[in-house]
Amino acid sequence: MSFETDDDIAEVLEGFRGRTLPKEKWTHAAHWAAALGLIAEDAAAAHRDMPGMIRAYNESVGGRNTDAEGYHETITIASLKAAEHAWRSAPEGAALHTVLSGLLAGPCGKPDWIFEYWHRDTLFSVQARRTWVDPDIRALPY
């Protein structure tokens, strides 16, 4: 799915929230669209609600949230921090889809962006999946 309008983001966010978004549409870009959409609405609520929303969505598409799969706290929080930074750094009045395009054009657009900050073993530990674990390569820039 491409995100050429704010309505495209709203559509993914609605499907994610309502747990009606088909699993195949829950792509890397769709994760960022949902995170950015929630941040733009209310950053505090996004940080509070996103974990439960991801867990519920995962289960709705047949996934599980265990120590080895599904919801991942450290990745979620790092992604929300990056999305919030992109939103707050955008020019006043910038369209959400423009902010998303910029986010995806940068390092976060690559699925392996997070390995610039965490070693793989650290990131995929049970502790990092359950709770926030500080980066062990270098600090996040946001």
Q: What is the DSSP string of 28-84?
A: HHHHHHHHHHHHHH-HHHHHHHHHHHHHHHHHHTT---SSSSS--HHHHHHHHHHHH
Task: Output the pTM of the full model.
Answer: 0.95
Average of pLDDT values for 71-96?
Answer: 97
Q: How many CB atoms lie within 10 A of CB 28?
A: 13
> Tens digit of pLDDT for each residue in 16-67?
999 999 999 999 999 999 999 999 999 999 999 999 999 999 999 999 999 9
Residue 2 predicted with pLDDT over 90: no
Average of pLDDT values for 113-118?
Answer: 98
Domain ranges of the chain: 6-130
Q: What is the mean pLDDT of the chain?
A: 97
